[in-house]
Structure 1
């Protein structure tokens, strides 16, 4: 469960612009954090800042006080929303971090996944020597891998970040761990609404699927 962090971070929250198919079904925000004097952003403090933003956004909607809400994190599982220490049934949360920004999405209508990714290197990175094309071939869906064919340098890296964010968002929405592409069950991402969202911190993707 989220606790109080020793280091306080200055944060700014902004609602993410969602496509019409997701409006009214999903809530999503970006939380941008200013680095402390040390220049280091402690991960636990970043988590607490995001959890606080989630609770502040959802408390009015749920008709409860901010102190009644909390976010619980367990290894290998999606975060859970709690009210008065009890899991709120029907709520799905997803969180992702990239440098000094975090994004979160929540829904009461189905399942949701969100992910933000920066390029895997910089202008000086030899992507072939670093093994990134091999990673793309092993993990991306065939159509996503095909979208990278013919790209070079930073264009390839930005394309890879976009496809990887899309993959992670869909996996989170499906409740699946990252595996090589041939290990995923057939139709694992069927029926999902997938959207690329604007972001200054890299590629940002959100996936949502209605309840069965």
Structure 2
């Protein structure tokens, strides 16, 4: 990773009262590299550093003792001195030059951020997004887009997509078409739309059973 290090500026995310004290969440905005390119692996390292610096005081250790383990198809895991901390549930998402992360010790958590889809000249039908919405969004989420036009539709779709991805991460499920999900898969999940100046941002949390 030599020469690919990025600097990230962490900022706590404003959580609704129902999640305060239960979830920790940050946005990490990356400083652009000299080349203007933001390599994903370097972004991950910047986020992992931010997680370690944020959680070390609570865990009573040095930030360098904490690490994040990433495995394909699985939620990231928090490590201390190379050992998994199973009580901590962690979720991370990336969009353009921003990353977000959330963690909890009380249940399960998922977070997702979506960058802008296009601009006022983008044809949503030509891009195929309405068809994607019909295939993947839950019926109530797809219905929320009815009647929206142009940029309003794009913003609405991005928010509904962020909500879907956050809930799937919280439930430990992969992205599938809506008819492949079992009934009640998202029961008990609390979903919050969080303020963001970089696109749509959603966080999902479910208490331990």
**How far off is 1:135 after superposition?**
0.2
Match of 2:179 in 1: 182
Out of 4, 26, 36, the position equivalent to 1:7 is: 4
Match of 1:47 in 2: 44
Provide, for residues 114-135 of structure 1, a one-character-per-residue CA deviation record: whole Å limited to 9, x for no partner. 0011232222211111110000
Do structure 1's residue 35 and structure 2's residue 32 form an aligned pair? yes
Provide, for residues 66-111 of structure 1, a one-character-per-residue CA deviation record: whole Å limited to 9, x for no partner. 1211000001111000011010021100000010000000001000
Specify every segment of 5 or more residues in structure 1 that has no aligned partner in the other structure, as ranges.
none
**How far off is 1:5 after superposition?**
5.5
**Partner SS state of residue 15, structure 2:** coil
Residues paired across the two proteins, number: 209
Match of 1:16 in 2: 13
Normalised to the residue count of structure 2, the TM-score between the two structures is: 0.98
Residue 120 of structure 1 contacts residue 157 of structure 1 at CA under 8 Å; is this kept in 2? yes
Tell me, in whole angstroms, the C-alpha distance in 2 between the residues paired with 1:119 and 1:145: 18
**How far off is 1:7 after superposition?**
1.5
Worse overlay, 117-126 or 35-44: 117-126
Tell me, in whole angstroms, the C-alpha distance in 2 between the residues paired with 1:151 and 1:209: 30
Tell me, in whole angstroms, the C-alpha distance in 2 between the residues paired with 1:22 and 1:117: 21
Provide, for residues 52-73 of structure 1, a one-character-per-residue CA deviation record: whole Å limited to 9, x for no partner. 0001100100001112110000
Tell me, in whole angstroms, the C-alpha distance in 2 between the residues paired with 1:41 and 1:34: 9
Match of 1:159 in 2: 156
Specify every segment of 5 or more residues in structure 2 that has no aligned partner in the other structure, as ranges.
none
Q: Which runs of 4+ in 1 moved over 6 A?
A: none
**Partner SS state of residue 120, structure 1:** coil
Out of 121, 124, 130, the position equivalent to 1:124 is: 121
Tell me, in whole angstroms, the C-alpha distance in 2 between the residues paired with 1:119 and 1:139: 19
Tell me, in whole angstroms, the C-alpha distance in 2 between the residues paired with 1:193 and 1:5: 41
Residue 116 of structure 2 contacts residue 198 of structure 2 at CA under 8 Å; is this kept in 1? no
Provide, for residues 133-185 of structure 1, a one-character-per-residue CA deviation record: whole Å limited to 9, x for no partner. 00000000000000000111111000000000000000000000000001101
Normalised to the residue count of structure 1, the TM-score between the two structures is: 0.96
Out of 193, 196, 199, the position equivalent to 2:193 is: 196
Worse overlay, 159-168 or 60-69: 60-69
Tell me, in whole angstroms, the C-alpha distance in 2 between the residues paired with 1:58 and 1:5: 26
